[in-house]
Amino acid sequence: DVKVTQSSRYLVKRTGEKVFLECVQDMDHENMFWYRQDPGLGLRLIYFSYDVKMKEKGDIPEGYSVSREKKERFSLILESASTNQTSMYLCASSLTGTDYEQYFGPGTRLTVT
C-alpha cells in the first residue's frame, strides 16, 4: 500500500521565517510533486522532481525552492514566508509516465501570520 507522509499536519509561522515542509514516500516512486490548494484556485503545481537532485518549476514557483537529496524524500522550502503563502500544501508521488496515478500525502495546512 502506497504511503506518502508529510512532516506536519498544521504549521503556524511568522512572516519572514524560513519554512521547511517535508514529504516522504515509501514506494520507490521516481516522481514527486509539491502543490498548493486554495479555495477557488484549485490545485496548483509548485515544483516537480523526476529524480534525485533533479527539479523542475511548476506553475507557481516564485517564493519557493525544493530539495531532493534522496529518492524517497522531497522538501519544499519557503525562504522567507509571507502571508500570501498561507495555504494547504500537498505532496504527491508517482511512477514515471503520465499513465500513472499520483498518490497524495495528507497535506500540511500552513498559516503565516
Partner 1 sequence: QKEVEQNSGPLSVPEGAIASLNCTYSDRGSQSFFWYRQYSGKSPELIMFIYSNGDKEDGRFTAQLNKASQYVSLLIRDSQPSDSATYLCAVERRNDKIIFGKGTRLHILP
- Binding residues for partner 1, rule: CB under 8 A, are 31, 33, 40-43, 45, 48, 50, 56, 58, 90, 94, 96-99, 101-102, 104-107
Residue among 12 and 43 whose Cβ is closer to partner 1: 43
The torsion angles phi and psi of 23, rounded to 5 degrees, stand at -135, 135
Q: How many CA atoms lie within 13 A of 66 on its CB side?
A: 27
Residue among 16 and 48 whose Cβ is closer to partner 1: 48
Residue among 62 and 97 whose Cβ is closer to partner 1: 97
Min CB(27)–partner 1 separation in Å? 14
